[in-house]
Amino acid sequence: MAEQPYAIEMRGITKTFGSVVANKDVNLTLKKGEILALLGENGSGKTTLMNMLSGIYAPDKGEILVDGEPAVIASPEDAKRLGIGMVHQHFKLVDVFSAADNIWMGKSGAGFSLGRDRYQEVADTAKRFGFDLDPRKKVESMAVSEKQTLEIIKVLYYGAKVIILDEPTAVLTVQEIEKLFGVLRRMKEDGHSIIIITHKLNEVLDVSDRVAILRKGEYIGTVDTASTNEQELTEYMVGRKVDLNIDRPVVEKTRPLLEIRDLTILNDEGATAIDHVNFYIRGGEILGVAGIAGCGQRELCEAIAGLRPIQSGQMIHKGDNIVGLSPKAILDKGISMSFIPEDRLGMGLAPSLSITDNMLLKNYGDSKGPLVDRKLGRADAEHVIEELGVVTPSTETPVRLLSGGNVQKVLLGREIKAGPNVLITAYPVRGLDINSSYAIYHILNQQKQDGVGILFVGEDLDVMLALCDKIMVLCHGRMMGVVHAHKTSKEELGLMMTGALDLSNKYEDKPAGIARDTNIVPDQPEDEGKEA
Amino acid sequence: MRFHIVKRDAFPLWKRLSFYLGAVVIALLLGAVVLMAIGVNPVDYYWRMFTMGMVGNKIAYRAFENYLKVFVPLVVTSVALSLAFKMRFWNIGGEGQFILGAVAAAAVAFQAGPLLPEPLTLVLMCLAAMLAAGLYGVVTAVFKVKFGTSETLLTLMLNYVALYFITFLGETKAAWNFFLEPSSARPIFTSFSSLAEFPGIPIGKFHLNVCVILAVLIGVGIYFYLKYTKHGYEIAVVGDSIGTARYAGMKVNRIILRTVFLSACLIGLAAAFKVGTAGILSTAITDDVGWTGIIVAWLAKLNTGVIFLVSALIGVLQYGSAAAAATFAQVDSSFADMLQGAILFLVLAADFFTRFRVVPSAKGGNSNGNG
């Protein structure tokens, strides 16, 4: 063989979980010194495939060649020995350990005692690859991007030549993503081979040399990045032509339905999560909330839904103060909140209960007598299944057995069924494939056209720019300003998200966030009277 | 050859049942090995045990009555525990709650028995037992919702407090201690069966104790409660996801307190049934139902109907081994405990195999399953 062997070659890999085929006869090649993007929708088997490379799963069938030699990767230890390292989507770090200790604890033959030199050693590794890292810093006090850097250094320290990154950009801002890509390019020049898992097309085109595409566990093919484009990649990924435009219907806006004034909220640790924030939502508009993970979105949503006590400030719904009301009372006023947490099931749904039972979650108490009216729930379940096209064997199927897209449709369906006038939705498309995401956007737009005011907490700036009317940016709990979606740019939002740009005091005559076009000003007597 | 574990899909019910049955059979075979080692014919022994010495016995109805006395407290306690477990509240304080209930019931029998008609005394005994056990149980729930303490530790430790309390009553000879036999110089518990005893409904020679009927009613009631009522729905949601319950506007703390109180109350009721049929206190009054009930509830996967089935089987093991001990003096009745342990482990193993299977790792080529 004259040709240089591949760094990694996977042949005919099949992996099943029960009857679910996660990977079917997948072939993948990784050249030395290239960046390969692994593209596919959620549930297409990207992570499963990579987990087999890093020794977490064993393939049911097929073989893996490393540097042209057949290899058995039965454990992460094996992978480490073969020079394969993976940076997982959810970081595997010990919070109370320093950066150096997190790296050092996985080192084989590190000896029994903790030497002082470990800090120097780790710092040297970081410097060698051009990273800036304080080896004594504890993980718990690190920002997300720092943690990711630490994970990458860890992998490099163990001498990995093949580095796999699972959705590394999901938690980063635009500027941080640029920085990460710079690092990846430098590593490539150093002779490392990199696989980056993602479903964001612009990133694929930006950073990769080749793109391998998976669809529903099957290997579709590998193309050179230089010779392809977004539309083509989407078709490979979804299997047919997809319209990538998101509608933004223009709807006549009503007066503000929900106004937040000077709101301050503490997080679970007692630190300020939301710091004197002002904004309002009108009927017939979608207000986006952008910010890096953990900048107070969750606390804000919980406070509005009455699940978290507030420190100070006012929340006014149609002229009534809702501060201090019970979650149920707020619900009855027509404020509906759905928050999709990272595990996607933790809040809003009871995973082991049936769709019917989940439909009843918020109104089971409305029926008379001590019994639960399941007929009502079943009718609602049937309605939502039909309206939103939920794929399920029956209304009595436990929600955890449904796929992610269907779970989220059930959740959103229940919220909409209640006929809210303010809909708060956080990460409604988290982890969904393109089709399901567009179905959700469509549902939100329909609600908007029906005059509902929508607060949309999102993570994909491209989507928010296309879908929202206005976007509010939070940074460490402080509002950096509200911008019109059609007048701003990703770069501007990115700067605001990191706190580098503060537009909240742009209009000096008006208080921050109570934007130009509100028709209720704080000192309007009509409102004050009602609050008292 | 390497192996790895693969998840199974829908596993038909009959196959699952046959796995469980297989587990029980293997446990019995293991027991047979032990029996043979001590020179006992396992077939004879198991025959005695599973027929509970009733075959060829002229007073077999007596044996069955006594078997039901073992069965009733166990099944009621198991059902009560399943209520808390369904909410993921790990009440392992059944022993302590049972003891407190038993003491309260006995106290009522001694004090009110001579003054009131017997039916009224029995009702008061039940109420007192439920209240005492319920309060003893709900304390842990209060600490959990107020301070986030671990209910597992608290309920566990309170078991010992209760145990030492009843031991104290049993060993302290004093004028106030009406639980003890006045005529005896040594401290021994005295009987109150002449004052209050749950009656039996005669069916021929056999007397069906009202407690059995009440236990069945409780079972049906709890099944209905969990499945159809709003309370049951709330328990299911809180158990499944506490965050979701809060988010839906449920008063989670109240639901926890209410459910734990109910669970402990029913354990108290089980204790009243036990005391009201035994007619005497004892430091071993619980018969370990607080522990066994945990096993029963889990083996039955918290399904009320199955709890009755499993309790009946465990009851057969316990009572049967005692009955068999009459013939096979060399086999201690704690053989039943060993057998019970073996069954638990093997059923858990069978459970694993109903959900997963072990397949040899294949290198290319030969496929497994439907690929």
- pLDDT tens for A232-273 read 888 888 887 777 778 888 888 778 888 888 888 888 778 888
Mean pLDDT across B29-58: 86
Residues B187-199: what's their mean pLDDT?
Answer: 86
pLDDT reported for residue A520: 42
Is the Cβ pair A346, B243 closer than 8 Å? yes
Q: What is the pLDDT of residue A506?
A: 59
Q: Which residue of A has its CA nearest to B360?
A: A60
Burial class (CB in 10 A: 0-12, 13-18, 19+), A25: middle
- Name the residue among B228, B236, B363 with its Cβ closest to that of A353: B236
Structure tokens that stand for A76 in this block: 């992460």
**Packing angle between helix B210-228 and helix B60-86, nearest 10 degrees?**
20
CB atoms within 10 A of CB A380: 21
- Cβ B368–A60 below 8 Å, yes or no? yes
Per-residue model confidence (pLDDT) at position B99: 96
Q: Which residues of B touch A63 (CB under 8 A)?
A: 363-364
Q: What's the pLDDT score for residue B333?
A: 72
CB contact under 8 A, B249 and A328: yes
Which residues of chain B lie closer than 8 angstroms to A370, CB-CB? 229-231
Alpha carbons B48 and B30: distance in angstroms, whole number: 17
Q: Looking at chain B, which residue has its C-alpha nearest residue A13?
A: B364
When CB atoms are compared, the residue of A21, A74, A372 closest to B230 is A372
- The CA radius of gyration of chain A, in Å to the nearest whole number, is 25
Instruction: Give the separation between CA A480 and CA A260, rounded to whole angstroms.
Output: 15
In this prediction, residue A524 has a pLDDT band, given cuts at 50, 70 and 90, of: very low
Q: Which amino acid is at A316?
A: I
Alpha-carbon distance B353 to nearest alpha carbon in chain A (angstroms)? 13
Place B185 in a pLDDT band, splitting at 50, 70 and 90.
confident
Q: Do residues A269 and A295 make contact, with C-beta atoms less than 8 angstroms apart? A: no
A372 contacts on B by Cβ (under 8 Å)? 228-230, 232-233
Single out the residue of A310, A307, A292, A346 nearest to residue A143, CA to CA.
Answer: A292
Per-residue confidence (pLDDT) for residue A133, from 0 to 100: 82
Cα dihedral sign for A73, A74, A75, A77?
negative
| Closest CA of chain A from B35, distance in Å | 41
The reply to whether residue A351 touches residue B369, judged by beta carbons under 8 angstroms, is: no
Contacts of A217 in chain B (CB under 8 A): none
Give the whole-angstrom CA distance, residue A317 versus residue A255: 11
Residue A98's beta-bridge partner residues?
A138
Give me A348's structure tokens.
Answer: 């809003």
3-state SS class at B136: helix
- Extents of the domains making up chain B: 65-316
- Is residue A11 within 8 Å of residue A61, measured between CB atoms? no
Q: Which residue among A17, A347, A371 places its CB closest to the CB of B243? A: A347
Contacts by B305-312, CB closer than 8 A, 24 or more apart: B305/B219, B305/B223, B307/B75, B307/B78, B307/B79, B307/B82, B307/B219, B308/B75, B308/B219, B310/B78, B311/B71, B311/B74, B311/B75, B311/B78, B312/B71, B312/B75
Between the two ends of chain B, the Cα-to-Cα distance in Å is 20
Q: Average of pLDDT values for B83-95?
A: 93
Closest CA to A239 of A212, A272, A271, A216: A216
According to DSSP, the β-strands at B200-203 and B206-209 are: antiparallel
Question: How close is the nearest chain A Cα to the Cα of B220, in Å?
Answer: 15
* Residue B51 amino acid letter: T
Beta bridge partners of A9: A29, A65
Higher pLDDT residue, B143 or B186? B143
Q: Which residues of B touch A362 (CB under 8 A)?
A: 248-249
CB burial readout B40-60, b (16+ within 10 A) else e:
bebeebbebbbbbbbeeeeeb
pLDDT at position B130:
96
pLDDT-derived band at B17 (thresholds 50, 70, 90) equals confident
pLDDT digits (tens, 9 = 90+) for A22-49: 888 999 999 989 999 998 877 788 888 9
Report whether A270 contacts A432 (CB < 8 A).
Answer: no
Inspect the interface and report whether the beta carbons of B241 and A364 lie closer than 8 Å.
no
How would you label A123-138 residue by residue, b for 16+ Cβ within 10 Å and e otherwise?
A: bebbeebebebebeee
Query: Smallest Cβ distance to B362: which of A24, A60, A306?
Result: A60
- A16 contacts in chain B (CB < 8 Å): 6, 369-371
Alpha-carbon dihedral angle through residues B165, B169, B171, B174, given to the nearest 10 degrees: 140
**Residue-level pLDDT at A512:** 44
The answer to whether residues A221 and A213 touch, using CB atoms and an 8 Å cutoff, is yes
Residues of B in contact with A305 (CB under 8 A): 247
pLDDT at res. B320: 86
Inter-chain CB proximity A61 and B362 less than 8 Å: yes
Note whether A16 contacts B233, CB cutoff 8 Å.
Answer: no
DSSP state of A226: G
- Write down the pLDDT at residue B161: 95
* Total residues belonging to chain B: 371
Residue B362 predicted with pLDDT over 90: no
Determine which of B6, B87, B244, B302 to mutate to test the interface with A (most A C-beta atoms within 10 Å). Answer: B244
Q: Which of A62, A326, A364 sits opposite B364 (nearest CB)?
A: A62
Q: Which of A326, A336, A355, A364 to mutate to test binding with chain B, by most B CBs within 10 Å of its CB? A: A364
Please compute the mean of the pLDDT values over residues A312-338 and round it to a whole number. Answer: 83
Handedness of CA B95, B98, B102, B103 (dihedral sign): positive
How many degrees, rounded to 5, is the angle at CA A476 between CA A472 and CA A480? 35
Q: Which of helix, strand or coil describes residue A183?
A: helix
pLDDT at position A413, please?
85
> Rounded CA gap, B157 and A414, in Å?
44
pLDDT for B79 beyond 90: yes
Q: Which chain B residue lies closest to A302 (C-alpha atoms)? A: B247
Contact B80, B94 (CB under 8 A): yes
Q: What are A502-512's pLDDT values in tens digits?
A: 877 655 444 44
Residue A524 vs residue B5, higher pLDDT = B5
Nearest by Cα to A249 from A427, A444, A422, A428: A444
Q: Which two tokens stand for residue A53?
A: 């490379």
- Angstrom distance (rounded) from CA A87 to CA A155: 7
Per residue in A385-438, pLDDT (tens digit) is 887 778 788 888 888 877 767 788 888 888 888 788 888 888 888 767 777 788
Please name which of A407, A401, A50, A425 lies closest in space to residue A212, comparing C-alpha atoms.
A50
State how far residue A103 is from chain B, nearest Cα, in angstroms.
29
Cβ atoms of B95 and B286 within 8 Å: the answer is: yes
What was the pLDDT predicted at B90? 92
Which residues in chain A have their CB less than 8 angstroms from residue B237's CB? 350, 353, 357, 361
**Residue A514 confidence (pLDDT) above 70:** no
Contacts of A258 (CB under 8 A, 6+ apart): A280, A281, A304, A315, A316, A317, A335, A422, A453, A455
Mean residue pLDDT across chain B: 88
* Residue A519 confidence (pLDDT): 40
Mutate to test the interface with A, among B88, B228, B235, B241 (most CBs of A within 10 A): B241
Give the pLDDT confidence score for residue A515 in this predicted structure. Answer: 44
Cross-chain residue pair B365–A362, CB shorter than 8 Å: no
Q: Is B248–A327 a contact, with Cβ atoms under 8 angstroms apart?
A: yes
CA B317 to each of CA B209, B273, B311, B330: distance values in angstroms, whole numbers, following the listed order:
21, 21, 10, 17
Confidence tier at B104 by pLDDT (50, 70, 90): very high
Cα A8 to Cα A479: distance, rounded to the nearest angstrom: 47
CA distance B18 to chain A (A): 21
Closest residue, chain A, to B367 (C-alpha): A61
Q: Once rounded to an integer, what is the mean pLDDT over residues B33-58?
A: 85
What is the dotted CATH code of the domain comprising B65-316? 1.10.3470
Mean residue pLDDT across chain A: 82
Tell me the chain B residues in contact with residue A339 when contact means C-beta distances shorter than 8 Å.
247
Indicate the residue of B244, B361, B371 with minimum beta-carbon distance to A350.
Answer: B244
Chain B residues with CB-CB distance to A under 8 A? 2, 4, 6-9, 228-233, 236-237, 240-241, 243-249, 359, 361-371
Contact across the interface for B9 and A331, Cβ inside 8 Å: no
Q: What is the mean pLDDT of residues B238-248?
A: 87
Residue A522, pLDDT above cutoff 50: no
Of B230, B231, B371, the CB nearest to A16: B371
- Contact list in A for residue B236 (CB cut-off 8 A) is 350, 352-353, 357
Q: Within a 13 Å sphere around the CA of B10, how many CA atoms are in the beta-carbon half? A: 2
- B9 near B360, Cβ under 8 Å? no
At A462-491, the pLDDT tens digits run: 888 888 998 998 888 888 888 888 888 888
**Lowest mean pLDDT, pick from A75-89, A347-361, B6-20, B161-175:** B6-20
Higher-confidence residue of A344 and B351: namely B351
| DSSP E strand boundaries for A283-334 | 286-290, 312-317, 320-321
H helices of B193-288, in order, are 210-228, 230-240, 242-247, 252-278
- DSSP bridge partners of A163: A85, A194
State mean pLDDT over B361-370. 44
3-state secondary structure of A161: coil
Rounded Cα–Cα distance for residues A286 and A486 (Å)? 13
Which residues lie closer than 8 Å to B331 by C-beta, 6 or more apart? B35, B38, B40, B45, B321, B324, B325
User: Residue B217 has what pLDDT?
Assistant: 96
Contact B345, B334 (CB under 8 A): no
- Count of beta carbons in the 10 Å neighbourhood of residue A65: 16
What pLDDT band is residue B98 in, cutting at 50, 70 and 90? Answer: very high
The length of chain A in residues reads 532
Asked casually if ipTM beats, i.e. exceeds, 0.85, the reply is no
Indicate the pLDDT class of residue A210, thresholds 50, 70 and 90.
very high
Which ranges in B300-334 belong to alpha helices (H)?
304-327
Domains of chain A: 8-238 (3.40.50.300), 256-334+420-531 (3.40.50.300)
* Token pair listed for A532: 């008292």
